[in-house]
Amino acid sequence: MQPHSDSQQTIQKLIEIVGKQHVLTDDKDTRLYRQGRRYGAGKVLAVVAPGSLLEQWQVLQAAVDADCIVIMQAANTGLTGGSTPFGDDYDRPVVLISTRRLIGIQVINDGQQVICLPGATLDRLEKELVPFNREPHSVIGSSCIGASVLGGVCNNSGGALVRRGPAYTELALYARVNDDGQLELVNHLGVNLGETPEEILSKLETKNYQIGDIINNSGCCASDHRYGHDVKQVDENTPARFNADPSRLYEASGSAGKVCVFAVRLDTFEKIPSQVFYVGTNSHDDLTEIRRFLLKDLPRLPIAGEYIHRVAYDIGAEYGKDTFMFIEKLGTAKVPAAFAMKDKVDAYLEKFGMKGLSDKVLQLVTKFMPNHLPKRMNAFRDLYEHHLVIRIENQDVEQVESFLKRYFQDKASGDFFHCSEEEGRKAFLHRFAVAGAAIRYRDTHRSEVEDIVALDIALRRNDREWVETLPKEMDDLIVHKLYYGHFLCHVFHQDYIVKKGVDPLAMEHQMWHLLDARGAEYPAEHNVGHLYVAKPALKNHYQKLDPTNSFNVGIGQTSKLKHWK
């Protein structure tokens, strides 16, 4: 580690680049950045928030010159600690570079593509594309509120929108530390911007380039062109997608912070009029048959298909209610600021031994608010264990409705209804609210709950036994099991709220053995972070990108030491 005097010199250099207010060193100020939303935390020398691409390059150069570890962070919405420090056993000081001020979005090629800077959020991108009647790779209900565009690419996230697959591009502008320990800028964005880093970054940020500078025939993809084919192969004995799929690791895509990304170029997608069906059943076989029809027999892929188990429905309805209502009333753009404010309040309360008080207050307030979910959804909750929300393109609605009527005509196991516009919107928003509900439950039941074991897994495409049955000795250690996920691609999120005194890490490792026996891949879309072990192909990707182990070290439980020692 650096001597104190060297650390102070590094901090002073960073202040000279970005200004004192954008270099945070006190624990209370850095807490929001060095602590994961659900998992992971550690110490940092400083959190730095550059205000331009050139400043980001200069900060990066200063950190590399000072032999610091660099962690790149956009929105810090990840669930596996993948963009925060983890522990205090680093062999060099850690500088965390927050890209939240670098929010630029440039629409190119008549809206067919965009170039996004490091701090661009999916919410903001969605709004930018409205005039073009187009959408980004992910939209509300398929992505984390406040999530960044670059974070999705770097983590191979997403896939809820069935036609679009995981976030992916082969067109990016990024910096890396090469084998000789030198910082270099790699321009594979497909835009001619000049030669030097200073020229390239300045021209890009000010959009000082011409239409003729954009290269459109390079042969490089700006989205996952083959995913639509892959997900339809419902008889294949392998998952449709998973985080460490070697065929979807390409430079910035799947890099997990092992390089410093300055921009990515991505395809956009036509906004398609659609309608929603809500299915409930007590037989998981019903959902399997519906899935096979939607993927094999429908002329066009569905837009989305989200699964919710009854327990997840209930926990989400009670403990995700404030998230649901906040978005309903104020929209998604306000959510990141609300999280930041809550974090500051929580930090203050923790000083006085009142950890979790804000969550209990929020829970109490929402308890007295009227029921926020549609009556027909709640009626299905009472009748059925398994729930599926399907979004279908308008021209396929009649065929889907006809199939569902025939399928359930003589079956007592389940039923469906064709949602109104409000019901459809609320069904998908509820599915989103479920994703954060386990955290709220934990934080309001500290005396009974040890923690959450959170897994996101990709089952085989031909797996008909997708409902998990745990051994009794494991089941007895769990308060609640929340199952929900992206059903059409067989990617499931499984949150286990474990009893007080249970070792969550030991429980997770037991879960891994069960998943291995089922032929599952994990994680499916949330990055290995510091929670999972990076498999050989993913580790090789990291080492190729970052031969000196200077960026986001320890990710995937790899070495934290310089040069991967």
Which structure tokens are listed for 318?
Answer: 């009670």
Is 10 flagged in the annotation as binding?
no
Give the count of alpha carbons within 13 A of 202, CB side only: 7
Is 78 flagged in the annotation as binding?
yes
Residue with structure tokens 């019903």?
286
Nearest Cα neighbor of 168 from 248, 263, 269, 261 is 248
Is 77 flagged in the annotation as binding?
yes
Helix 357-367 with 335-351: angle, nearest 10 deg: 130
Is 76 flagged in the annotation as binding?
yes
Residue with structure tokens 């200004």?
19
Which structure tokens are listed for 360?
Answer: 């209990």
Which structure tokens are listed for 141?
Answer: 């209900």
CB atoms within 10 A of CB 351: 9
The residue type of 340 is A
| Residue 271 burial (C-beta neighbours within 10 Å; 0-12, 13-18, 19+) | middle
What is the C-alpha to C-alpha distance for residues 290 and 416, in angstroms, rounded to an integer? Answer: 11
The residue type of 266 is L
- For the chain, what is the total number of helices (H) and then of strands (E)? 18, 18
What is the C-alpha to C-alpha distance for residues 88 and 448, in angstroms, rounded to an integer? Answer: 29
Is 148 flagged in the annotation as binding?
yes
CB 479 within 8 A of CB 547: no
The 3-state secondary structure of 279-296 reads EEECCHHHHHHHHHHHHH
Is 41 flagged in the annotation as binding?
no
CB atoms within 10 A of CB 350: 13
Nearest Cα neighbor of 324 from 443, 422, 426 is 426
CB 116 within 8 A of CB 122: no
Is 256 flagged in the annotation as binding?
yes
The CA-CA-CA angle for residues 461, 462, 465, to 5°, reads 110
Binding residues for FAD: 74-78, 82-83, 141, 148, 158, 256, 261
Binding residues: 74-78, 82-83, 141, 148, 158, 256, 261
